[in-house]
Structure 1
Amino acid sequence: MRRIVRKWGCLCAMAAFWPWLAMAQQAAPAAAASVPASAASVALPDIPFAAADAAAVAVPSAANAWGGERSGNEPTLSDRVVSYRIDAELDVAKHTVSGKQHMTWRNRSDRPVSKVYFHLYLNAFQNEGSTWFTERKVLTAHGRSRGAAALKKGEWGWIELKQVKQGDAALKWQFVQPDGGPATDQTVVRIDLAEPVPAGGTLALDIDFLSQLPRVVERTGWFGDFNLVAQWFPKIGVLELPGERGATTPRWNVHEFHFNSEFYADFGLYDVRLTVPADYTVGAVGKLQGPPETANGKSTYHFVQGDVHDFAWVAAKGYKTLDGSWQGPGSPKVDVRVIYPDEYVASAAPVLKATTDSLTYFSNSLGAYPYETVTAVVPPYNASEAGGMEYPTFFTAEGYAKVEPGTLTQYAIDFVTIHEFGHGYFYGLLASNEFEEPMLDEGMNEYWDGRMTRDSGEKIVLASGWMKRLGITPAMTGFEAERLGAGLHQPPDPLGANAWDRLSSSSYGTVYSRTATAMHDLEERLGKPVLERAMHEYYRRWRFRHPSSADLRATLAEVSGNPKAVNEIFDQYVYGTAQIDDRVASIDTAEVLPLAGSTLKDGRRSELDSDALDKRVDKQREDWDKAHPKAKPGSGPFPWHSTVTVRRDGVPVPQLLRVKFADGSSEDVHWNDDRRWARFDFTKPSKVVSATLDPEQKIYLDANKLNDSRTTKADGSASRRWSADAASLLQVFYALVGSL
């Protein structure tokens, strides 16, 4: 759960100013340089990278992608591609992790592989020449960044490869920039193999490495005695095959660590031993294999987890734990643990409850949770940038010293916990590519979180203590709040754009809120049960298989039976930058009075001049008023002709227009065509007094809801209501600022 955006401009030109630095940093260690690459390795053609501008996939994946649908009868939950056995030790004084990693990787392609590519994510934090820092500098000039800490001497982080061996052969490596980033970026490394891996064969590598954790700047690192160890080991990239996420030939999907992007990796098995001081509390991805082994003031914890695609852990001195458990249909018994500091003891129980509630909701609405553990970590004060992050079976929440039921703080801690747990489905089990298609994780997860809070009835309370005492308790639903931040007016980037090629940090932020809003509106068109049934099928088909945007669209269209509605949302918002802004432009009313002039009726011609007509009209009015002393204004002896004109300043969307008349009656008409404007005429005993588009408030994508309605008489209640809400929001904002 992170935000911001990239616009390269001339950033790649930076390498020209430091040619000597680029060469020095790309050179392999001297020990490895003495080992020649094999002739076979040199002769084999290179497998290309996924494009640097890769984004939303438009062609559905093949039926056999990633080994085909998982029936549940296979020996493992996923088609495991990789296996990591890691022995690591944390030096708490230096905040370093020394590791020995034995990795096996299966070549799923139909050709030999002579070079493999690894992510070294921590190198994003080693200097300001990384892609991550370079993009942050540009993007924060066009918006705000969550991670704005400035690292000082002794606070940078990196990974050093000490040795890489294939059997007995020491291998060479070289830093590369698959996305054309600065030559000073070292977040991706190419390793040249001594012997190529044949088609269908398995590669085994032994890697010794040292990871220096950074002071927490974003996602990972240390503060005091707290160490969140994430993206800390060399992780192999994904070799995608034809028919998988739009690939037409084998390609390495191994993007640099961009400022906005997160992660993407193959499913596999993690077998990890962690050695830390004996007085540190430890939590990690996976299940602890018995009590830790303790000797000489150190404890070694052994965690194992299959069918996941990452491993992260925490080691913190003096932290407490709160345990619970959960079980649901089709799931094993799940051990739930919250790890927290003393200062945030008030957050422990709410995080535990929100986690178990999430297990119930996501399991019932999407599919059974298949793992035996969930661990939530509450970071300490001054390490909040480590909060709100997700890893398989393991996530970080947010901490508050005081959590009062029914307040904004309660909603915040619930929503962050739900969101980070929810990533366990969209990022974890479905394992979409967060680099190229963040909408499938951040956006779809945000939508499902909104459904959970909506279905539970929880709202965002915008009132502080004194406001509640006065009976002023404005509140809004999660989807209403999402709409406010969705950037619906002339969005610059499609939702399906990748994580870094965006106009601004705000544009990336709308991946969360605009996706949630678009899916809310699709749900309104399809119906809640239909949408949920389609998403349940999406999860069933694509769990453990890395689906694309096209796979989500195809599943929704097929299961819903309404491909028109699904394709409209995807074409206009996922693949396009459409906006909706329908409005009531005018209401015109006039009485239908007798007309002056000559008329021919039954062979006889009669003539009525204006004076006589006025007298007749006055008499009819007088008689009618006497007969109807309690009639509402706008009614009378003559019918009224009213015309309502609506305008369309965006793409078409099925609209309901509700027209109300002076006598209290109303009439609904549908505007379901693609006209840029339309007029609707009504001849009734009373005149139109108001007209409203989307009266049931189903279309949240409309950029301006204030122009959806119009009255013939001025009504200040709406402006007074909005003024009160604005004042409430300001009050809450000032209260939050004062609490920082």
Structure 2
Amino acid sequence: MHCCRRATAALIVLLGCLPWLAQAAPAPASTCPTIPLAAANAAAVRAPSAPDAWGGPRPANAATLSDRVVAYSIDAELDPVKHTVRGKQQLTWRNRSAQPVCSVYMHLYLNAFEGPGSTFMTEQRASEQGFRSNVPTKDGEYGYIRLDKVVQGGQPAKWTFVQPDGGPKTDRSVIRIDLPQPVAPGGSTTLDIDFFDQLPRVVARTGYYGSFHLVGQWFPKIGVLELPGERGATTPRWNAHEFHLHSEFYADYGRYDVRITVPKGYTVGATGQLVGTPIERDGKVTHRYMQDDVHDFAWTADKRYAKPLVKTWNGPLGPVEVKVLYNPEYESNAEPVLQATIDSLDYFSKTLGPYPYKTATAVVPPYGAQEAGGMEYPTFFTADSTDTVTPGSLQRYMLDFVTIHEFGHGYFYGILGSNEFEEPMLDEGMNEYWDQRMMTARGQNLVLTTPWLRWFGIGTRITPFDMERLGASLTDPADPLGANSWDRLSSASYGTVYSRTATAMRQIEALVGTPAMARAMKLYYERWKFRHPSIADLRQALAEGTGKPDLVNAAFDAYVYGTGRTDDRITQLTSAEVLPRPGYHTYQGRQVLVSSQAIEKAIERYRTRWTQQHPNAKPWQGPFPYRTVVVVRRDAVKPPQTLRIHFADGRHRDLPVTAQGSWQRFTLVTPAKAVSAQLDPDDRIRMDANPLNNGRTLTAQPQAARRWFSELTALLHSLFVLLATL
């Protein structure tokens, strides 16, 4: 360490010479086989997990909701002036594998915000679209987590920083800890860890602003040891990725017992239930929160919180305490957030499965801390905040939607335990789909207007799923939906994980029928709750539950595992009378040549006689039938759909479009003339890149220009939704 004594402080930091930045790590003991890390390109699992993965489906009479692997006992003390947290953690971890384990991997997420050398901030600089509000971090506003001690059974453990995804060597969001004593197969070990947090100025859903503190990604958190048959693993492997710009979390289920000490006068909210009465001593108050069968823990503290808004929701598994924390400037937000949370509890419990916890806490971020909004943790989430809560306004729509969206993560990220690093579609995308189902069930369409236009009752009404479709990059998708969260063309491409997944799932629902999709999603939830499913497990559940495996598999191959583009369009529509033609005709057993002049005279006589015989005929009626020809062109992915031809007599014919070539021609002879043709008349093919070319009329119609305006305004709003939910 002589170099550190001679170097300047800045050089010390750059060289990583401070003792707490890295410790020399010995090679793992030879008694332990090497357990590799999940690959940096891991994503889009294709092989379904084994039936007994993660201990198998959880039976109704199980003693615990999850097969608990970890237990965290943490003492944390907040200094709200320096914005620091000093923590002592006792982590107990169980080795589920059949081999000894000599090294474990842990996440130090908070180091993503320590400076420009982290993977997170490196990717942020390279991002084309920025991130959330993209508020720059100034000097003195960075944050980090420091390990001060790791002890196993009284013996100190050594650790070193690693970059599993090939990120910069200056990234310190993952460490390998080499254990003094191996953990035997099926055995457990306990690590005593001292750590120190310097919270950043609120950024990417954690940090401080004034007296407000949102403490997320704040403690050393062990990675997941996956076994063969779990999420595509064929041998034991550690799953512990760097903290990327768009990635979030993945961890084992277990028990959290956390004691939070804050100055007197601060209100605390956290994951789980408050146990006992807070203990006051020396001007400080300690709050104890506990929660079983979750895989993360976050909390908040602020001396400016108003009296929390609290209500009890009586669910199928018993009462749930619903709480909203807010600052006085956003008092008007509290009631809408509370109601949206209660409505979400009801909807998700009925459509997926009963909410299994006893609390649900929502936080409305204060003015100036908007970057803290729109984030989820088990039983605890942050909503949006707005100055306008008028029903029907864009701001109220966003307040309700973000509340529903963040609550919904409690199912897709929380109870199902999706791997948000490798398969963000399973959380962000599937959650977005179910949120929009709930918004649709609420009848909560978006109305784009202005105050003075609203006074005249003027506005553009857009359904939730129409809004999603317009932001789904259907014309030129850059990445498969199943790709991981960081190996993507751009932030905009990552954003399609939300909207494009919701659109693809809506298409599957439309094609198989809503009752079938409802059954399939309940099957998925019941089979995989507390078990970490993969994309292949979702596909299998949807195929079984809908009874339409061919349709489901085709959609997954096209959109989830590939970048399939659908664009069916009508390129020809003609409808003309079928008239006699000149030439040889058979008459009384002989071939007779009929001239054009003779045919024209015969047609005229026939028309005159028919008109005399049908004086009250409708305009569309006549003596001759009509031949209608429609040509449909098909590009890339070709889902089955319907062509509807409308006729002048008010009738229509539905014809199946099933050709897997580049075109399909339809020819009909009918009494009435066709007036228009429409592909997908029931709006089931949600992935169609250009719905405007799906229809054709014999005469020009002005509706298309109005539809272009509607689509443009909806697209603008979809961008707002993306920024709010990323």
CA-to-aligned-CA distance 1:347-396 (integer Å, 9 cap, x gap): 10000000000000101111111111000001112211110000000000
CA-to-aligned-CA distance 1:125-174 (integer Å, 9 cap, x gap): 001000000111112xx334215121111100000111111122122111
Report the counterpart of residue 92 of structure 1 in structure 2.
80
SS at match of 1:327: strand
Report the counterpart of residue 548 of structure 1 in structure 2.
534
CA, structure 1 residues 133+452, in 2 after alignment: closer, same or farther (shift >3 Å)? Answer: same
Unaligned 5+ runs, structure 2: 1-10
Report the counterpart of residue 153 of structure 1 in structure 2.
139
Report the counterpart of residue 7 of structure 2 in structure 1.
none
2:718 and 2:491 map into 1 onto residues whose CA distance is 24
Report the counterpart of residue 310 of structure 2 in structure 1.
323
Is residue 476 from structure 1 mapped to residue 462 from structure 2 by the alignment?
yes
1:40 and 1:145 map into 2 onto residues whose CA distance is 39
Report the counterpart of residue 48 of structure 2 in structure 1.
60
Give, in angstroms, the shift of residue 490 of structure 1: 2.7
SS at match of 1:136: helix
Report the counterpart of residue 389 of structure 1 in structure 2.
375
Report the counterpart of residue 117 of structure 1 in structure 2.
105
Is residue 664 from structure 1 mapped to residue 650 from structure 2 by the alignment?
yes
CA, structure 1 residues 605+546, in 2 after alignment: closer, same or farther (shift >3 Å)? Answer: closer
Q: Which moved more, 1:87-96 or 1:467-476?
A: 467-476
CA-to-aligned-CA distance 1:533-584 (integer Å, 9 cap, x gap): 1111111111111011111111111222211111111111111111111011
SS at match of 1:621: helix
CA, structure 1 residues 508+632, in 2 after alignment: closer, same or farther (shift >3 Å)? Answer: farther
AA of the residue aligned to 1:114: C
Q: 1:127-146 maps to which residues of 2 (within 5 A)? A: 127-139=115-127, 142-146=128-132
Q: 1:396-475 maps to which residues of 2 (within 5 A)? A: 396-475=382-461
Give, in angstroms, the shift of residue 664 of structure 1: 2.2
Is residue 45 from structure 1 mapped to residue 28 from structure 2 by the alignment?
no
Report the counterpart of residue 25 of structure 1 in structure 2.
16
1:604 and 1:106 map into 2 onto residues whose CA distance is 96
Query: Is the Cα–Cα contact under 8 Å of residues 28 and 103 in structure 2 kept in the other structure?
Result: no
SS at match of 1:637: coil
CA, structure 1 residues 395+80, in 2 after alignment: closer, same or farther (shift >3 Å)? Answer: same
SS at match of 1:41: coil
Query: Is the Cα–Cα contact under 8 Å of residues 23 and 160 in structure 2 kept in the other structure?
Result: no
Is residue 302 from structure 1 mapped to residue 288 from structure 2 by the alignment?
yes
AA of the residue aligned to 2:644: R
CA, structure 1 residues 409+45, in 2 after alignment: closer, same or farther (shift >3 Å)? Answer: same
SS at match of 1:636: coil
SS at match of 1:432: coil
Which of the residues 338, 341, 354 maps onto 1:355?
341
Give, in angstroms, the shift of residue 56 of structure 1: 1.1
2:694 and 2:539 map into 1 onto residues whose CA distance is 30
Query: Is the Cα–Cα contact under 8 Å of residues 632 and 662 in structure 1 kept in the other structure?
Result: no
Report the counterpart of residue 357 of structure 2 in structure 1.
371
CA-to-aligned-CA distance 1:43-78 (integer Å, 9 cap, x gap): 533210000100011111111111111103222111
Q: Which moved more, 1:593-602 or 1:620-629?
A: 620-629
1:533 and 1:220 map into 2 onto residues whose CA distance is 37
Give, in angstroms, the shift of residue 27 of structure 1: 7.4
Give, in angstroms, the shift of residue 310 of structure 1: 0.5
Is residue 639 from structure 1 mapped to residue 639 from structure 2 by the alignment?
no
AA of the residue aligned to 2:686: Y
Is residue 75 from structure 1 mapped to residue 63 from structure 2 by the alignment?
yes
Report the counterpart of residue 602 of structure 1 in structure 2.
588
Give, in angstroms, the shift of residue 469 of structure 1: 2.2
CA, structure 1 residues 391+147, in 2 after alignment: closer, same or farther (shift >3 Å)? Answer: same
CA-to-aligned-CA distance 1:249-305 (integer Å, 9 cap, x gap): 111100000001000000011000001111111100010012211122211100001
TM-score by length of structure 1 reads: 0.92
Query: Is the Cα–Cα contact under 8 Å of residues 26 and 175 in structure 1 kept in the other structure?
Result: no
Query: Is the Cα–Cα contact under 8 Å of residues 32 and 172 in structure 1 kept in the other structure?
Result: yes
Report the counterpart of residue 5 of structure 2 in structure 1.
none
Query: Is the Cα–Cα contact under 8 Å of residues 573 and 628 in structure 2 kept in the other structure?
Result: yes
2:448 and 2:38 map into 1 onto residues whose CA distance is 45
Query: Is the Cα–Cα contact under 8 Å of residues 16 and 22 in structure 2 kept in the other structure?
Result: no
Identical-pair percentage? 57
Q: CA RMSD in A?
A: 2.3
Report the counterpart of residue 177 of structure 2 in structure 1.
191
1:597 and 1:732 map into 2 onto residues whose CA distance is 62
Report the counterpart of residue 263 of structure 1 in structure 2.
249
SS at match of 1:486: coil
Is residue 165 from structure 1 mapped to residue 151 from structure 2 by the alignment?
yes
Give, in angstroms, the shift of residue 640 of structure 1: 1.5
Report the counterpart of residue 489 of structure 2 in structure 1.
503
CA, structure 1 residues 709+632, in 2 after alignment: closer, same or farther (shift >3 Å)? Answer: farther
Report the counterpart of residue 577 of structure 2 in structure 1.
591
CA, structure 1 residues 548+21, in 2 after alignment: closer, same or farther (shift >3 Å)? Answer: farther
SS at match of 2:193: strand
Report the counterpart of residue 696 of structure 1 in structure 2.
682
1:208 and 1:181 map into 2 onto residues whose CA distance is 27
CA, structure 1 residues 603+200, in 2 after alignment: closer, same or farther (shift >3 Å)? Answer: closer
Query: Is the Cα–Cα contact under 8 Å of residues 264 and 434 in structure 1 kept in the other structure?
Result: yes
CA-to-aligned-CA distance 1:686-707 (integer Å, 9 cap, x gap): 2211100111111111111000
AA of the residue aligned to 1:66: W
Report the counterpart of residue 681 of structure 1 in structure 2.
667
Q: Which moved more, 1:412-421 or 1:719-728?
A: 719-728
CA, structure 1 residues 262+732, in 2 after alignment: closer, same or farther (shift >3 Å)? Answer: closer
AA of the residue aligned to 2:549: P
Report the counterpart of residue 16 of structure 1 in structure 2.
none
Unaligned 5+ runs, structure 1: 1-19
TM-score by length of structure 2 reads: 0.94
SS at match of 1:686: coil
CA, structure 1 residues 559+150, in 2 after alignment: closer, same or farther (shift >3 Å)? Answer: same
Size of the aligned set, in residue pairs, is: 711
CA, structure 1 residues 108+70, in 2 after alignment: closer, same or farther (shift >3 Å)? Answer: same
AA of the residue aligned to 2:449: A
Q: 1:476-495 maps to which residues of 2 (within 5 A)? A: 476-495=462-481
CA-to-aligned-CA distance 1:112-135 (integer Å, 9 cap, x gap): 111111100000000100000011
Q: Which moved more, 1:530-539 or 1:265-274?
A: 530-539
Query: Is the Cα–Cα contact under 8 Å of residues 77 and 87 in structure 2 kept in the other structure?
Result: yes
Query: Is the Cα–Cα contact under 8 Å of residues 22 and 183 in structure 1 kept in the other structure?
Result: no
CA-to-aligned-CA distance 1:503-553 (integer Å, 9 cap, x gap): 111111110111111111111122111111111111111111101111111
CA, structure 1 residues 469+182, in 2 after alignment: closer, same or farther (shift >3 Å)? Answer: same
Give, in angstroms, the shift of residue 499 of structure 1: 0.3
Q: 1:709-724 maps to which residues of 2 (within 5 A)? A: 709-723=695-709
Give, in angstroms, the shift of residue 676 of structure 1: 1.7
AA of the residue aligned to 1:134: T
SS at match of 1:282: strand
1:724 and 1:323 map into 2 onto residues whose CA distance is 40
Report the counterpart of residue 11 of structure 1 in structure 2.
none
SS at match of 1:291: coil
2:134 and 2:447 map into 1 onto residues whose CA distance is 29
Query: Is the Cα–Cα contact under 8 Å of residues 467 and 715 in structure 2 kept in the other structure?
Result: no
